[in-house]
Structure formats: C-alpha cells, structure tokens
Amino acid sequence: MSNQKKSELSHSPLEVSGEVIILAGGLGTRLRSAVPDLPKCMAPVNGKPFIGYVIDYFQKEGVDKFILSVGYMKEAIIDYVAEHYPTLNVKFAIEEEPMGTGGGIYLSSKMATEQNVFVTNGDTMFNVNLAALLARHTETNSDCTLSLKPLQNFERYGVVELKEDFSIDSFKEKQYYKEGLINGGLYVLNVASFLAESLPQKFSFEKDYMEALYQHRKMSGLVQDAYFIDIGIPQDYLQAQTDFSLVVSG
C-alpha cells in the first residue's frame, strides 16, 4: 500500500452542500441489554440520542438535505427529529417490514434529489472530511466510494484493500488482523447507477451490492484516520459515553 493511502487526512474547514441518507431502521439486537426499549440510533449518549450527533455532524459539514430510512419504532425517531430539528429539510423513507441495509438505501434513493448522495448508519460516527470523500468519488467517476478507517489489532471487522488507483481490490472476511483498513460505513453513492441495479427488495448493501459487484462496477475508497465509533455492541456504546462527553469535533 502506498504512503499516500496510509497517510492521515487532516480535517479541513471546507464545507460541502448535499444530501445524506441515514439508515435508522436497525433493531439493535446486540445492544438490547443496554438499551432495551429504543431503536438503536436513538440510544442515549450523555442524554442525547446518538442520531442527533450524526445529524449535527452532517449539518456542520454543510449537508442540508436529509433522508432517514426508518422502520422499527419509527415514531420515536420521527418525533425526536420533529421536536429537536424543526427546520431540518428531512424526508422519511418508511420500511413497512425490514428490508436490510440495501433495501433501506434503495427505498431512500428513490427520494433523493442529488446525483450523488452520502450514505451512513444512524448508529455509527466516522468524523471524516466529506469534501475530500466527495472529491475522490467524482475524480474517479465511481458508482460508490467508501470511507476507510485504518485500525490495529482487531477482529470485529473485515478488511478492505485498495489498488494504486484507489479502486477496491478486495474485501476480506472478519478475523483477527494486526492492521488493516475497515469499512467505516460512510459512502458516496451515485443514485442513478444504484437504482439501475437488478437487486432484490430485501438485501444487504455490504454483501449483495459492494462485495458482490465491486469487480464489475466502479467502486473506490478514501482512507481517513478520523474518529470512528460503532455503538452496535454494549462495550462500544459505553465507550461513546466517555468519548462524546469530550465533544467529538474532528
């Protein structure tokens, strides 16, 4: 891997207008012991639902249009956004039954107004430079661009490898890795090309789109060594309580 790919990218003050899809329909099964009666993205972190931090981050970056993919306990999310973000330009893509990450993104993409949209998970924070991510996406004319986080000594995540031209070289299964790049769960997606795919109504964005099609589509990556947390398990949910008390700002 080249030094250019390994290097950290400092978070510039550049802002980027645009649109984001936030997946907020997760059941949060693994988090149920810590947060029993809420959708995962509504898990409180220092008294504030986690999705509030996600919305704040995208607003700070200049993103001004939001599409929330909701399903499980959707009323809690819709009511929270209405009360705490009354002026937010937001649409809700409602899953009447679980559709998987891919189905949720597909349903939301039909409501998008931008050619390229950011996509993220409502239970994950990856404090990347969105302008740099969008620039990589447009420069490579990609169908999908992944934000990648370098990690050391981990087994919870699979590894993504890049070619010299920043295209995806491989996805490797979860196991112990001394070091590697993980998928940070934040993407830029070309809406038209994604909607043109022949995909089932219910599918995994990660398995059935990215991993199945990366050799046949233009998919690229950008490495950013920025703050990352996924609150999907109790250990990391508790870690977020500490991290966010310090105010995550990049």
Angle at the Cα of 209 (from 204 to 213), degrees rounded to 5?
150
Per-residue tokens: 122: 């409502």
pLDDT of residue 1: 40
pLDDT (tens digit per residue) in 90-119: 999 999 888 999 999 999 999 999 999 999
210-238 mean pLDDT: 94
pLDDT of residue 72: 86
pLDDT of residue 69: 97
Those residues whose C-beta lies under 8 Å from the C-beta of residue 162, and which sit 6 or more positions away, are 1, 5, 148, 168, 169, 181, 220, 221, 223
pLDDT (tens digit per residue) in 129-184: 999 999 999 999 999 999 999 999 999 999 999 999 999 999 999 999 999 999 99
The CATH number of 15-237, from 3.90.550.10, 2.160.10.10, 3.90.1150.10, 3.30.450.20, is 3.90.550.10
Q: Of 99, 54, 114, whose CA–CA distance to 81 is shortest?
A: 54
CB atoms within 10 A of CB 217: 18
Could you state, in order of their start, the residue ranges of all structural domains in the chain? Answer: 15-237
pLDDT of residue 74: 92
Side chain identity at residue 193, one-letter code: S
Q: What is the pTM of this model?
A: 0.90
How far apart are alpha carbons 104 and 39 in whole angstroms? 15
